Structure 1
Amino acid sequence: MKISFKHTLRGKTVIYGTILSMLAVLLTIASGYFVSHKLTKNQFDYVNKITTSAAVERTNMYMGEIAMTFNSAMNSDAFDILVSSKYTSDYNLFKAQNDYETYLKRLISLNDKIDALVLVNNNNDIFINIGNVVGKDFSEYKAPEFIKKVQDYVKVSGNTNQVYLNRYSRNIYDRISVINPVINPENMQVEAIVIAVLSKKLTEDLQFAGGTINLADGAGNYATVINQDNSEILEDNQYTFKNKLNFNGWTIYNSYKFDKIQNLLNLYFLSIIKYGLLYIFLSLILLLWISKLLVKPISKMEREIGNLNEHVIENKPINLKKRKFGFKSTILILYTVIVTIPVVWFTTGAYINSNNIIENRLGSVFEYGAKILYQHIDFIFSNYYKKGAEIAVYNNKVQTYMDEMNNSETKSSLQYVLNDFLLSNNFAGNKISNVSILDKSFNIMCSSIYNKSLTLNTIEKKDFEYLNNNYGRSLWKYYTDTSLNNSFVRIGMSIRGNGQDVEAGKLLGYMFMDFESSEIKQMLDNFSQYSNVWVYLTDENGQNTIGKDDIIPRTEDIIQLGIGLSQDKGKERVSFKSDGNSYIMIVKDFNLNSFKLIYILKNFDEGRSILYTSITILAILIFLSLIFSYGFSVMLSRNFTKLLKTILKIKAGDLNARFKSSTVDEIGVLGDSFNEMLDQLNRMIDEKYISEVRLKDAEIKAREYELNLLQAQINPHFLYNTLKTAQYMVYDGDPRAEKMIKLLIALFKTGITREEKLVCVKDEIDHVKTYIDIQQMRFSNKFDVIYNISDDLMKFKILKLILQPLVENAIYHGLELKAGKGEIRVDAIKYDNMIVFKIKDNGLGINTNKLNDIKEQLNGKSQSKSIGLINVNERIKLHFGNEYGLDIESQEGEGTEVTATIPVLTD
């Protein structure tokens, strides 16, 4: 019968496998894309929040300097004259204007954050424009429309301390401006405006912070600092992060587009789709090859059975190679492999790709954050150094007093200088906690009056040696004063003559200045607000850490490990693993001291989420693949299972069982051929094997008839011998003659008149005893008989007349010619499902040659006309089977033992 490919077993195997392969590829790609997209967006959101925080810190520092510039620009006598010009003469006004222009030039000459400073006072047409750029007049800022706009801002805000945002654009020149109006608090009128036109420095510093960064003031003015994504200003979506700035009412907006990362994900998954199509094609080739191997034995069996059905009897037997796995198991393994490979491959690839995108993004973000923080702290250290140098290097009074320290008045004067320095600096917010001066012998000459840090933290001798051996360098250390619950950064310098009033280079003593570390700690805490980001300051050995000590365990070990790797590789950024966690560490060295900025990123929770989610999806997809694979394998092997069940029924003896196919395929064709073979087999059984059974039954009946004839021959022979003996007894007048005749009557009554073939063991033993009593009278008690049979065996059935011939054989062939008295033992035991009788005598025994002949006769290997043992043996085998019968063992001169084995019978 011709079957189309799609209906063949091979076709179904290929089609089902291809469907599974396509499902695996499509489901894996779809789930991988969904998870990667979602989790990458979550991390994108998290990372950009951190980036925005760094941008806020940088912008605050930048705007803080702008505010200081405004304060400096407005802290001038010339500024006061220009602002209140209506009360000033023309000469003074002209002079003030020239002085102020000079002042502004000096103020911004080295300032890279400002392109220009502009002062506008339209009351007297005053317009001063001092800038670091050429050819920009900024004349629009003196227009009445602009002044009115600023006045409107002031009215809306109602705040005399408010600064405003503006944008100055001319051709390709595009800058942000900060407007600081001078307001009369009595009438809230704008008397003058100070404008700072910012340079591109802020844009350069924030270029790695995000896609689009916008600033907004409290009056609703917006200005774009960076627009790398060409986004609309303040695009209202979930990727815009807003933070307040230190300027009153000012806000920074950091807006991101997911497009770039989205494009990376799309490109990756497009490549995955290509690989998926290639995999489906390769799996199709694999399925075609393996399915051919699978159905090859089936096709061979189908041909062979067809030949048998066509009576091609010369056909060779069906020889098939044994396989480790059956058809169903092979299909299951094949489909599982086909499905599992793309699931593992694509899911793992999606995880790695997403993780790489995130790690690359994180690297730039945290490098940017570390850069901003480094600039902050480096600025603070520079300020510390300048303050220390004011005392140790540039203060002529300190050097003079130190050179004249033997005078007690100069010591008091030195103390006054320190107190004045400390008061003025702390009033300005520099937070100097202590200044101390020591002489060349390390004795404290004078100290500030605010605390006694030097007495609580002893200066080591090696610190003085460091200052002496490193001319021109300063000593930097971090201390924690547990008694005062305070910590500070100490800077130490040698006090030497500067060549004016004191000999140049002459060692006069030492100066130590302590700065409260709260400002640095606050800055570190601002950058450590996220659970997986840790920021520290350490010395060159990774000890004396400044920062939160309770963030993670074994912080110092992790820091020292990262520092070591950074030094070995010569890189600021290193990656490593410790305690089962992955870390990214950025190590930045400061130029002024040996301190290091340590910026650490521990594994993301979201990173683990990608891993855990990927593993979960992988497990689910593999589980589903196993279910689908099992289902398809069951569908394909359904006919196999039915055919196997049919074969098992036939093996159990049900030759009427037939295979019924549920599908059209090779197994169905094979099953039809198998059914046809069974039909022919049944016909052969009817024609041949039943006739043989009938013939066998006829043979058995003939055998029974022959055995009955033998038995009929036995009885007359025994009767003759017994009656002959009784005759002699009567002739001699022996009174036992009557008893012998009675025993003979009883014996023949049991053996002849009863027609049943099976009797109880008890009846058979009674028959043997009757026979023994007769023989004892014949042979005048020439032997003794011992019976060893338990009562529980007496109830079982036994073939009639099988023990008496064995006893008779023992008497005539063993004991009759033996000199002296003999012995016969009759034993019976139950063993498993058999009863074993042993008839043993101590008579003459049998020589080896004759014993072997008897054994061959018992095994049917030779013919014999003996009617004794052979008769009994054939009767047992005929009724119970060849596994039962007689066995004989004998040794010449010692006796013979005959064993009769029959099954346990209760009926």
Structure 2
Amino acid sequence: MKLLIKKNFLFRNMNMRNKLLIIFIMIGLVPVLFFSAFFFQQSKSAFEDELGKYTMEISKQVGGRLDAFVQEMERVSNIIRFNPDVQTVLYEWTEERTSPSIYAERNVRSLFENIGNFRDDFKGIFLVTDRGLLVYNGTDEVAKLNYNFSESAWYQAVKEQTSFRLNTAHPQTYVKGEEVVTFSVRLTDNREFKSKGTLLIDFTPHTILRMSENIQLGKSGHVWMMTPEGEPVVSSQQMPDWLEDEELLREIQEEPSGFFHFEYAGMQMLAGFYTSSETGWKIIGSVPFEELAYGLYRIRTFIVLLAVGALIAIVFLATALSRMITKPLKVMERRMVEVGKGNFEKRLPVMARDEIGRLSISFNRMIAMLHRMNNEVFQSQLREYQQQIHLKNTEMRALQAQINPHFLYNTLNTIACIAEVYDRDEIAEISQSLSRMLQYSITGGLTATVEEELSHLQSYMSIVNVRFPMKFDLKLRVDPGIRRMRFLKLVFQPIVENAVNHGCAGVDKGHIVVEARFDGETAIFAFMDDGIGMTQEKLLSVQERLRTKEMDSDTSTTVNHIGLRNVYHRLYRLYGEQFSMTIWSKPQQGTKIEIRIEGGVADAKGVDRG
């Protein structure tokens, strides 16, 4: 399952050309392979059937020769058994031989000689009466006249048969003992209608063997004869080893004729068999399949060459077709890459009116529309950007004016008065503090460390305390861990200045507390005074003005709250939704301003100072 998923994943991520190439090859190759295999299998099956039938016909041909031989012997036997002299021998013979019987024996022997002269494979013709008389014609061999045939099992089987019988090879023990094949038939006395003797016609085993010797069955094929019981007809003829297989032997014994395939000694074999109608013997021919199947192998070679040629043609055509289909897509892909880089000038060539051509037309329309929309968006963004630049320049100019001109004016008047009247050291202190404030305001980037912001605040309070001796008390509650954190510049001083000018106006002694700490990941900055505070209506008005983007047209309101509003909007632009400012105030109980930065502020070492 995992392998299938992996292959499916690889196919999905393959480029279109390779996908089409694989699909075209599969569509073309699979039918070719299927029909080639089907055609070869059908040809092989038909070829095997024909070869099987051919093998069976060979066996049938040998069986036909055997049957013809038996029929010939039947005719010869009929000539002998119906011969009058043979009938006389059967009827007249007694131990006291008479002239008719002796004359008849001589004529029978002459008949046997005449018949024997027609074939060179005769080993003798014997007439054996049940009383023991032996009349024969041999091949210069003397038969045993007193031989007891009844002791031979094969002879007993002959006597039990009433019809013609071709016996398997056996020793000719009644002559010299050589192996012979005997054709036999029982002889009947036509006068008394009784079986009184047996006719034996002996042949050399070669008579049977040569029936199949001139049969060509491949290079190493053979033809055998065996009895229905599975025994060889001629003992000198060795039966094949594969006949020891009981299943194969049973198939041959149960059917009159047929053919089958089997494997023997690592080779595919083909066997055909036929049953002789005259003898019941099985004629079997077997041959290695490859010796007869050279035509089939030529067909297989032709099919393989055809499949290889078809594969080459399919690959060539599939490659050309996939290239032709994917070429416009590749051009479109490269054009899309150029469009992604911002080049809207070029258009796709429309080379056809098919689906890809229509897609190219739609793509060109889309590019034109994107080009127009891109120009419109660019112009809109340019105008918006210009407005933002103008707004930021305005804000920056406002931020540069964080130090109240009235404060600078009063400070300078104070310095002048002290210098003329008192001639005191405060002049040096206030001058240095003012110098540090101005330097901090106009140098560096938008951010500084909390430590630097506190130093700027202390410089401011030094000047305030010179102007208003003993009137304001500033306390700092700052966690050591937050001092090195980076924070927006000019936040602490405007808020404290607002407390000095408005929160503590009209009080004898004003106390101002500044806290800076961490609450988990949140940085908290709090500014508290014990001044006159604000009513609920005024507090809501201040909070509402802090959140408006436009500057107030009221000059007094702008002067009183420009520092706090600037601080609010600058913090919001820098920290976004992480920033929040909360103001608490009640009349005659003072005011508290708390700034929270969710997630803390950046380490001073990791922030660019601008």
What TM-score results when the alignment is normalised by the length of structure 2? Answer: 0.49
What TM-score results when the alignment is normalised by the length of structure 1? Answer: 0.36
Give the number of the structure whose alpha-carbon radius of gyration is greater. 2
